[in-house]
Amino acid sequence: MNYLKPALILLTTGLLTACPDLGIEYKDKNETIEVNYYKQPCSDTSASLCFSVKDKNSGDAYAVFNNLSGFSAYQWGEYHTIKVETSFAKNGKADSYRFISLEKSTANDNAFSMTLHSKSGIISAADSDKTSWTLGGEKTFSSSAEQGAAINQAIADNQVLQLEFTAADDQLTLNKVLCAAAENDFASECEGVSQAQWTVRHFQSDCNYNDPRLCLVYRTNSSDDWELLRTTSSAIRDFEPQWGSQYQVTVEKTLSAGGQLVSARLKENDENPTAVTGSSNTFLFVLNAANLPAADSDNKIALYDGGQLMLCDSRCSDINGARDDDHMLLLRGYVESGEVVVQALVCNENRGSDFDDCVADQADDISWWPPSA
């Protein structure tokens, strides 16, 4: 009977190979996701709007997702953290989300741009005066007569429109008609794509958004002021910087028609970044204390998404107090063995003018705070 074992194994293997549908079965499961504060066109050819989502606490950019059902409590102008039941496709990627419950909502009144392919029918006039418009068949906004004339002409010419909005209390407000161009000319005329060499500093700082996020600190030329990288993802795509290392990188950056930096993607990495560590290399950085967890038994605090640890030692109690008071913090620290070591609390103030005035009084170079809109 032992002669039959190899043959049986071969026969079984052959049967499995002949059945391409056999494989891993991904069962539905409950997850927590984040939903962006505005919707986007589902595609260039779609007349509908879709949610844009990402995994909770992920550093990824929000991505359009066209199969989230049951989320009737959505409000434009608010980030939402929600619990969903996720169904998966055969490749293991999320295929659909079913809304279960809302965990929290956070307002965000930052301006955003939306690209609309008018021939898809996603935008249409809601009145004869061309000063009221319907977006995706679900959202109405108003325009001035001049803005309305520009939108109407773009629709008549089947052009691609780029509009700037703000959203608050589930209302959509048109700020500007940024650009309109034929589809073949849109990238060159409306999307400023170019390469640049950036210096990226060895630390990160609060982005000054309503949701807890750390931004890279960068500049193009040595004579330029440092800036916070406040794009949608607050990161350079395909770039994974380490605290304590300063980088010289080449990026492909995209600007909106209004000149706002929209995104950045790594083109050439720095294979030998400069180590900037130790107590002789201190820096100032900003944290929103309300978004910090309590220090653990080792006097360490995980920053926002938990990806970076900060050692606070005798200053932990002051940081915990600032958290209870919903204060903003300007901290002086340095990087040692991969961890941020807090050396001093420089500013511990209410968010807004109190904190900004304290930052402005410092002699150190923190020109990147408060960040420009």
Instruction: Indicate if the pLDDT at residue 25 is higher than 80.
Output: no
pLDDT at 305: 75
Structure tokens at 208: 């000054």
pLDDT at 59: 66
* pTM flag (> 0.85): no
Q: Among 231, 115, 133, 121, which Cα is nearest to 178's? A: 115
248 Cβ contact list (under 8 Å, min separation 6) = 197, 198, 199, 200, 270, 273
Structure tokens at 151: 């939108």
Give the whole-angstrom CA distance, residue 168 versus residue 109.
Answer: 6
**Which value, in Å, is the radius of gyration of the alpha carbons in the chain?**
25
pLDDT at 23: 56
Q: pLDDT digits over 314-325, tens only?
A: 999 999 999 999
Largest CA distance in the chain: 89
Q: pLDDT digits over 166-194, tens only?
A: 999 999 999 999 889 999 888 777 877 78
Instruction: Indicate if the pLDDT at residue 56 is higher than 90.
Output: no
Residues in the chain: 373
For the chain, give the mean pLDDT: 89
Q: pLDDT digits over 125-156, tens only?
A: 999 999 999 999 999 999 999 999 999 999 99
Q: CA distances (Å), 119 to each of 65, 143, 172, 231, in order?
A: 22, 20, 22, 28
Identify whether the C-beta of residue 67 lies closer than 8 Å to the C-beta of residue 97: yes
pLDDT at 258: 62
Give the whole-angstrom CA distance, residue 172 versus residue 76.
Answer: 7
Instruction: Indicate if the pLDDT at residue 17 is higher than 60.
Output: no
Q: pLDDT digits over 63-110, tens only?
A: 899 899 999 999 999 999 999 999 998 888 899 999 999 998 888 878
Q: What is the 3-state secondary structure (H, E, C) of the chain?
A: CCCHHHHHHHHHHHHHHCCCCCCCCCCCEEEEEEECCCCEECCCCCCCEEEEEEECCCCCCCEEECCEECCCCCCCCEEEEEEEEEEECCCCCEEEEEEEEEEEEEECCCCEEEEEEHHHCCEEECCCCCCEEEECCCEEEECCHHHHHHHHHHHHCCCEEEEEEEEECCEEEEEEEEEEECHHHHHHHHCEEEEEEEEEEEEEEECCCCCCCEEEEEECCCCCCCEECCCCCCCCECCCCCCCEEEEEEEEEEECCCCCEEEEEEEECCCCCEECCCCCCCEEEEEEHHHCCCCCCCCEEECCCCCCEEECHHHHHHHHHHHHCCEEEEEEEEEECCEEEEEEEEEEEECCHHHHHHHHCCCCCCCCCCCCC
